[in-house]
Amino acid sequence: MKNILITGANSYIGTCFEKYAYEHYSDKLAVDTVDMIDGSWRGKDFSAYEAVFHVAGIAHADVGNVTDEIKAKYYAVNTELAIETAKKAKEDGVKQFVFMSSAIIYGDSAPYGESKLITNDTEPSPANFYGDSKWQADKGVRELSDESFNVTVLRPPMIYGKGSKGNYPVLSKMASKLPVFPNVKNERSMLYIENLCEFLCQVMINNKGGIYWPQNAEYSRTSEIVKMIAEAKNHKILVSGIFNPAVKLASIIPGKTRNLANKAFGNLTYDMAMSECDFDYRVADLKTSIERTER
């Protein structure tokens, strides 16, 4: 039995992981959580745990008109807190530190009509302070790795599942109300929450260190996801390429319209070879994952 400590209470990923580990690996993993908000965690003894899973952070940044004070908060939480937690884990004798980085460290997705494939040779190049705060933490925690302290860094693409936040709920809402949707042939890497949780369980059970890029076994197309969601909700929606010129026009109009079009129909994929491991973590394919999310 391995004792796991989640540093960061009430996060979507942390809560889902704790539930998944209890349901599927209760004979191998025992999970506790500590809140990071008030600083009392610094007095907690980490030595009772074989692994620390750090999920505390600020996500989904609005990188528009942001004050220097807000930017500093992102670095304080996403970078400094992560590194401080990793140092404490190492000092307390914890054997493994698991850190949630992000695909955001590679910059924004490619806009409508352009492709972006991330490979092992792609160098991180954050497009804004949010991405840079994650990248600085990514580097900082890995610098602490040694023979007695295994650091495991995950750089997942967009994570979705029942109760998730971010872009997926927006798509779900559109799929349940719109009568038509553009059939744009874009590609995105995505990661279903249960696939992520299985991945996390495996790397913790087997004490695997290094950098990982978990993703679903297939790339996603926005129009296909919308269609699957609509089917799961018993809603009829027409997906047609006749609306693609309107999307193309929206993608070049400066301001919020362009940002929304590129966010919905842009391209960002990981090379599939990067995501293969010596264990199977994909417990649900895309269609199944959408059905489980929407039921």
* Domains of the chain, residue spans: 2-164+189-216+268-284
Residue 66 CB: number of other CB atoms within 10 A?
Answer: 15
Q: What is the pLDDT of residues 12-23, one digit of tens each?
A: 999 999 999 999
Nearest-Å Rg of the Cα atoms of the chain is 20
Residue with tokens 């996390």: 200
The answer to whether domain 2-164+189-216+268-284 has CATH 3.40.50.720 is yes
Sole residue written with tokens 């295994």: 150
Among candidate residues 102, 122, 90, 97, the one with its CA nearest the CA of residue 13? 102
In one letter, which amino acid is 292? R
Instruction: Choose the most confident range, by mean pLDDT, from 104-113, 142-151, 159-168.
Output: 142-151
Residue-wise pLDDT tens digits, 253-263 = 887 788 888 88
* The model scores a pTM over 0.75: yes
Across 193-214, average pLDDT: 98
Residue of 162, 167, 165, 164 whose CA lies nearest to 188: 167
Q: What gap in Å lies between CA 55 and CA 295, rounded to an integer?
A: 26
pLDDT per residue as tens digits for the range 149-190:
999 999 999 999 999 988 899 999 999 999 999 999 999 999
Q: How far apart are CA 97 and CA 99, in angstroms?
A: 6
Chain segment 28-80, per-residue pLDDT in tens: 999 999 999 999 999 999 999 999 999 999 986 666 678 889 999 999 999 99
